[in-house]
Amino acid sequence: MDKITIEELKCQTHEDGEDAVEDLKKALLKEEGIYTLSNIFKALSDPTRLKVIFVLSQSSLCVCNIAHILDMSQSAISHQLRILRDLKLVKFVKKGKLVIYSLDDDHVLQLLTQGLDHVNHK
């Protein structure tokens, strides 16, 4: 078996491409942005949280209605909503003692619909 030299392992970047590589390196998201985005995708990887987001994409609801629709306890739904709220995926408004949840903005709906489009793409 032939040994590979260090020179053979080096990237064969063209001299005129070095600037483009450096530009791409500078364009990378900052660590904080990568971390936040990673946490959003982790949150969206949970089936229950995806169901909550789907339900809220149809209508703004209180915890008890979400729990009823998903056949889960209010406590379990509240826990999932806290995670989604902390990541700014859902928001709430208080109406007296009632707390109504909805998607935070259209970006969350776009994440859901893009994911569903990908799943349904043939």
- Segments making up each domain of the chain, as ranges: 17-120
Q: Which one, of 114, 80, 85, lies nearest residue 102 by Cα?
A: 85
pLDDT of residue 24: 82
Residue 15 DSSP SS3: helix
What is the reported pTM? Answer: 0.79
Mean pLDDT of 52-69: 97
Residue 31 confidence class, pLDDT cut points 50, 70, 90: confident
Mean pLDDT of 70-98: 97
pLDDT of residue 9: 53
Residue 21 confidence class, pLDDT cut points 50, 70, 90: confident
Pick the CATH number of 17-120 from 2.60.130.10, 1.25.40.80, 1.20.1600.10, 1.10.10.10: 1.10.10.10
Sign for the CA dihedral angle at 49, 52, 57, 62 comes to: negative
pLDDT of residue 18: 73
Phi and psi torsions of 37, nearest 5°: -60, -40
Among 4-8, 19-23, 44-48, the range of highest mean pLDDT = 44-48
How far apart, in Å, are the Cα atoms of 41 and each of 4, 25, 59, 112?
40, 23, 22, 11
